Amino acid sequence: MDLSEPKPRVNFKCLQQYVGRRVLLVGAVEQAAPGSVQIRTSDNGNVTIQTTAPPDYSNSEIVEFDVNVTGPNIVQENSHTRLSSGFGAFGVGCILVRVQGDDIDVIILYPHTDMENYEELVKLIHEHGRTILLP
């Protein structure tokens, strides 16, 4: 794994902090057309993704995009991964453990949809766990 240029996971709220950088963005496809796709992010923001290939995903499908951020809500796709059809439904839950010295924080993300859990993960990365979760 190459960590020389990490691709942080972002939501709509923190996307503008990464203009000019490469990031990972998860969202539900709202509308797909040749050359672009509109997604709704985990924090309910709307982002336009500029694409070069015809879209191979359907509306409401959850997709992870590897993108270059070109503006506050416009990004250029490098690649994408279609997430399982179960993503977005109520998940089995998730437990995150954060250790700082002698302190251990346990965060249980349940029962939420996978998108809500993803949003909580993004918040942890950017608000609390930057030094732990991002190189």
Residue 9's pLDDT is 86
Residue 109's pLDDT is 47
**Interval 33-44: pLDDT, tens:** 889 999 999 899
Whether residue 2 is contained in a domain is answered as: no
Instruction: Let me know whether 69 and 128 are in one domain.
Output: no
Give the integer Cα–Cα distance in Å for 21 and 68: 6
Query: Higher pLDDT residue, 78 or 92?
Result: 78
Q: What is the model's pTM?
A: 0.71
Mean pLDDT across 59-64: 82
Give the integer Cα–Cα distance in Å for 108 and 91: 12
Residue 128's pLDDT is 62
Whether residue 78 is contained in a domain is answered as: yes
What would you report as the CA-atom Rg of the chain, rounded to the nearest whole angstrom?
A: 15
Residue 129's pLDDT is 56
**Number of separate domains in the chain:** 2
Q: Is the pLDDT of residue 96 over 60?
A: no
* Domain housing 56: 9-82
Q: From 96, 91, 125, 110, select the one nearest 10 (Cα to Cα).
A: 125
